[in-house]
Structure 1
Amino acid sequence: MILDDKLRGSLEVERTMDATLAERIGRREQIEALKQLKYRYCAAVDANYDAAAIASMFAEDGVWDRGDLGYISGRDAIYQGFLEPNATVKWMTDGVTNPIIEITGDRARCQWYMWLPKITNDGTSRSFQGGTHVDQCRRLDGQWLFEHMQVKLRKLP
């Protein structure tokens, strides 16, 4: 009888540890999915502003907020807003680092440092900007999407 109780207790501890491990792995998978969402966004912007790809990463009521460059609300409007590539830019590459990702259920807040080197079409201007992205994301049907993306760029002196 004592052995049975010990065995049952051992199995309960093992089940609890497995559940905790499964939860921890699930959380890491969600963090990785959010990182991949951001990396795909950067790749789409660098691909001459791939409007269809960019818009597909936003919720139907998503918002792209770039302050000085505008505030676009709704997936269709985001698509339209990215249709015309930036005619003044010859080359640029977006980079994001140091993510701080907080997940609560089907919502997440992601903060990133970003850097953006670019060269104008005429080659007369080269700039390196830094700043932050703050994303509010929502998981819909198992897929993470941007709900609100705020981009704050700062030109370096």
Structure 2
Amino acid sequence: MSALSLEQRIARLEAAELIKTMKARYCDLCDRGYEPDGLAALFTEDAVWDGGIFGRYEGRAAIHAFFKGVSRTLTFAAHLVLNPIITVIDDETATGKWRLWQPVTANEPNGPISKILVAAYDDVYVRVEGQWLYKSLHLTVNFFEPLSDGWAQTAVP
């Protein structure tokens, strides 16, 4: 039997659903050209977006600037997030783990190419004035490879 009351358990379920909706909104904004205003609004003022090979950006303004420029490099993206593990720690804090499968069109020196990105998200969320926001987003890239080359030789487990 859980030590939490029924109301607390329902509140945690609602929080997890709101976080899933926020993640879906994040993916949708990325897939519509990396809309910087909408994306930056999903982060706290002091948030960290750490994309590994894509860079690390601290603070909402730096995150906004990154998203404003990334659409020149990634002209198409379909963020397919899977396997959410949401842990609501308390009324104001939660964590999330997700898998990412993402087909991409990337501008390369010789022209655009089709690539596949497979990665894992490790997120920390906080509730600010009733809204769940990212405190941090960390992306661990397993591979980001041209579709024609495959990934058997480069995948990082």
Greater mean deviation of Cα atoms: 59-68 or 147-156: 147-156
Call closer, same or farther: CA 1:120–1:80 in 2, change over 3 Å: closer
Q: Distance in 1 between matches of 2:5 and 2:15?
A: 15
Decide which of 131, 138, 141 is 1:143's aligned counterpart: 131
Q: Distance in 1 between matches of 2:37 and 2:75?
A: 21
Q: Distance in 2 between matches of 1:109 and 1:85?
A: 26
Decide which of 87, 111, 116 is 2:72's aligned counterpart: 87
Decide which of 84, 87, 90 is 1:102's aligned counterpart: 87
* Residue aligning to 1:133: 121
* Residue aligning to 2:60: 75
Quick check: 1:116 aligned with 2:65? no
Q: Distance in 2 between matches of 1:100 and 1:22?
A: 21
Q: Distance in 1 between matches of 2:61 and 2:85?
A: 29
Call closer, same or farther: CA 1:86–1:36 in 2, change over 3 Å: same
Deviation of 1:111 after TM superposition, in Å, equals 0.3
Higher helix residue share: 1
Which structure 2 segments of 5+ residues have no match? 144-150, 153-157
* Number of residue pairs matched by the alignment: 138
Q: Distance in 1 between matches of 2:136 and 2:70?
A: 21
Q: Distance in 1 between matches of 2:121 and 2:71?
A: 20
Q: Distance in 2 between matches of 1:47 and 1:97?
A: 19
Larger radius of gyration: 1
Write the deviation string for residues 20-75 of structure 1: whole angstroms up to 9, x where unpaired.
Answer: 33222211110000101111111111110100011000001001001122110011
TM-score (normalizing by structure 2): 0.81
Q: Distance in 1 between matches of 2:83 and 2:34?
A: 24
TM-score (normalizing by structure 1): 0.81
- What letter is aligned with 2:136? H
- What letter is aligned with 2:83? N
Deviation of 1:102 after TM superposition, in Å, equals 0.9
Q: Distance in 1 between matches of 2:104 and 2:66?
A: 20
CA contact (8 A) 2:30 2:77 kept: no
- Identity of aligned pairs, percent? 32
Q: Distance in 2 between matches of 1:127 and 1:56?
A: 28
Task: Let me know the Cα RMSD of the aligned residues.
Answer: 1.6
Quick check: 1:55 aligned with 2:40? yes
Moved over 3 A (4+): 120-123
